[in-house]
Amino acid sequence: MTWNDKRPMAPHLQIYRLPLTAWLSILHRGTGAVLYVGLLLMVAVLYAAASGEVAWRAMQTLLSSWLGQVVVFGFVFSLYYHLCNGLRHLLWDTGKGLSLDTLRWSGWLVLGGSVSLTLLTYLLSFLVRVHD
């Protein structure tokens, strides 16, 4: 078998820049996986709550740590992103919003909405903790 140097090569990720919609699709799949793992964490939280005060305090300590906060933040963002992008997909199922300009605009709207809702959730949770 001989190597033909003249045959065309497929664009590589270092050369080809993925469009926003491709990145959002990858992020949608990734947030789905994060939600799956996050639901396992939610089961662990419920189990700790049902197991008594010692287990519940241990879970609170874990989730209050910086690593726990990063995990919870990622779960909350994933939840909002998956929701917003799912609504976008429902709109597409009606045949609307499929032009290139609308795809880009709605993609940025999904990202902005997800970040805004995540930050709003954290702001409200902070205000509730300060008020208590």
Domain residue ranges in the chain: 20-131
Residues 127 and 78: their CA atoms lie apart, in Å, by 22
Q: Give the pLDDT of residue 97.
A: 95
Q: Give the pLDDT of residue 130.
A: 84
Instruction: Report yes or no: 82 and 34 within 8 Å, Cβ to Cβ.
Output: no
Instruction: Report yes or no: 117 and 80 within 8 Å, Cβ to Cβ.
Output: yes
* pTM of the predicted structure, to 2 decimals: 0.85
Topology of 20-131 in CATH? 3 helical TM bundles of succinate and fumarate reductases (1.20.1300)
Q: Give the pLDDT of residue 18.
A: 87
Given a cut of 70, the residues of the chain with pLDDT beneath it are: 1-5, 7-9, 11, 13, 132
Q: Give the pLDDT of residue 13.
A: 63
Q: What is the dihedral of CA 76, 116, 106, 94, to 10 degrees?
A: 60
